[in-house]
Amino acid sequence: MRSAFAGSHPALNFLFFASVVAFGMLFFHPAMLGISFAAALSYSIRLRGRAMCKTLLCVLLPTLLFVVFLGAAFNHYGVTTLFTLSNGNRVTLEAIVHGFATGGMVLTVFLWFVCYNAVVTTDKFLHVFGRVFPTGALLVSMTLRFIPLLTRRMRKIFEAQRGIGYGGGRLRGGLHALSILITWSLENAVDVADSMKSRGYGSRGRTSYTRFFWTRRDVLLTLAVLALDALVIAGMAAGQTRAMYNPYISLPAMTAFSIVLYACYALLCFMPLALDCTEEIRWNRSR
């Protein structure tokens, strides 16, 4: 799916995902969890469409329920007893809520990573790191080139060896093929090195080509993300995000500040989706 957020500068993408994943792992407060979960879920569905819904229903929700079940079945703290099992163990509201909070947190972070994978392609990753370590970025790029190449070669070797009667056992055949692959690749490395040298590799002051540029919107959004991050951190420092589930559920009192905090967090988490929606509306209007 085309996404306006995915089209913005890689550094912004990175900053955003770093923020939401870090916050997602830090906050146990149900409101904060809920906001982040809702944002991650809606954005991942927007990016992945039906496939995401399928994974969600078939894999993620059962996992969540399983975590809740485990929590409720084996944790017996809490003051609100819902019912007592035949072996005398109590099932408490606190344990169930805590189970939902833990499961929700894991699920949220997982969903953010699903979005990350869709948005931050290798190109973007290389762009961000290429600026700092041009050689490292080249290394990653070369690795990405050689993995499929070597896999293909390995298949050819197996086939070729079979064609002259060296089917062999799995293990022996595999080791045999691996030794051919290594010889072949070492020989090949000489050609690669020649090709690199002949195009000036090894000269000082390597730069890194990029297809990404900062737009005004990227700058503004980055500043906004930084500002929202600062506010959320301030809220955290003020203890507004603390939550306790044992022995009883205790949350900080709702104040004007906490409402502002939730709003800021929601703005931050829903930013990609909001951006996508505005872009889509604009596009539809321009028709």
Partner 1 sequence: MEQIQIKDLHFSYPLGQGEALAGVDLTIRAGEYVALCGESGCGKTTLLRHLKTALMPNGKRGGSVRFCGALLDTLDARTQASRIGFVFQDPESAVVTDKVYHELAFGLESLGMPQGEMRLRVAEMASYFGIEPWFNMPTDELSGGQLQILNLASVMALHPDVLLLDEPTSQLDPVAAADFLATIDRIHRELGLTIILTEHRLEDVLPCADRVIVMHHGRVAADCTPREIGNSLTGELAFLRDSMPAAMRIWAGADGKGACPLTVCEGKQWLTRTVTAAEPVRRTLASAPAEEPAVRMREVFFTYDKNAPDVLRGLSMDVPRGAVFALLGGNGAGKSTAMKAAAGLLKPYRGRIELSGRDVRKIPQKELYHGLAGVLPQQVRALFTEKTVRLELESVDRGGAQAMADRLHLTALLDRHPYDISGGEQQRLALGKVLLTHPRILFLDEPTKGMDSAFKSQFGTLLRELTTEGVTVFMVSHDVEFCAANADRCAMLFDGMLAAEAPTVPFFSGNTFYTTAANRIARHVFPDAITDEDVIALCRANRC
What 8-state DSSP symbol labels residue 6? T
- Choice from 50, 87, 88, 198 touching partner 1 (CB under 8 A): 198
Quickly tell me which residue has 């072996």 as its tokens. Answer: 87
Does 195 sit near partner 1 (CB under 8 A)? yes
Asked whether position 172 contacts partner 1 by CB under 8 A, the answer is no
Among 208, 238, 244, 249, binds partner 1 (CB under 8 A): 208
**Half-sphere exposure (CA, 13 Å, Cβ side) for 31?**
18
Is there binding between residue 179 and partner 1 (CB under 8 A)?
Answer: yes
Nearer to partner 1, 109 or 177 (CB): 177
Determine, following the binding rule CB under 8 A, whether residue 125 of this chain makes contact with partner 1: no
Answer yes or no: are the C-beta atoms of 48 and 114 closer than 8 Å.
yes
DSSP of 14-83: HHHHHHHHHHHHH---HHHHHHHHHHHHHHHHHHHTHHHHHHIIIIIHHHHHHHHHHHHHH----S-EEE
Residue 205 within binding range of partner 1, rule CB under 8 A: yes
> Is residue 210 a contact point for partner 1 (CB under 8 A)?
yes
Q: How far apart are CA 186 and CA 153, in angstroms?
A: 13
**Cis previous bond, 247, omega within 30:** yes
Residue 150 within binding range of partner 1, rule CB under 8 A: no
The reply to whether 161 sits near partner 1 by the rule CB under 8 A is: yes
- Token look-up 């004007």 returns 256
197 lies in the binding site for partner 1 (CB under 8 A): yes
- Quote the tokens at residue 198: 């002949």
Q: Does 51 bind partner 1 (CB under 8 A)?
A: no
CB of 48 to partner 1, least distance (A): 19
184 binds partner 1 (CB under 8 A): yes
Residue of 83, 86, 169, 207 interacting with partner 1 (CB under 8 A): 207
User: Among residues 30, 110, 156, 246, which is the contact residue for partner 1, using CB under 8 A?
Assistant: 156
CA distances from 99 to 8, 96, 110 (A): 37, 5, 16
Residue 73 near residue 61, CB atoms below 8 Å: no
> Which of residues 61 and 149 has its CB atom nearest to partner 1 in the complex?
149
Does residue 200 bind partner 1 (CB under 8 A)? yes
Q: Which of 66, 73, 74, 162 binds partner 1 (CB under 8 A)?
A: 162
Which residue, 90 or 156, has its beta carbon nearer to partner 1?
156
Determine which residue in the list 50, 199, 285, 287 makes contact with partner 1, applying CB under 8 A: 199
Closest CA to 27 of 115, 102, 95, 113: 102
| Residue-level length of the chain | 287
Residues that bind partner 1 (CB under 8 A): 122-123, 126, 134, 138, 141-142, 144-145, 148-149, 152-153, 156-157, 159-165, 167, 176, 179-180, 183-184, 187-188, 191-192, 194-211
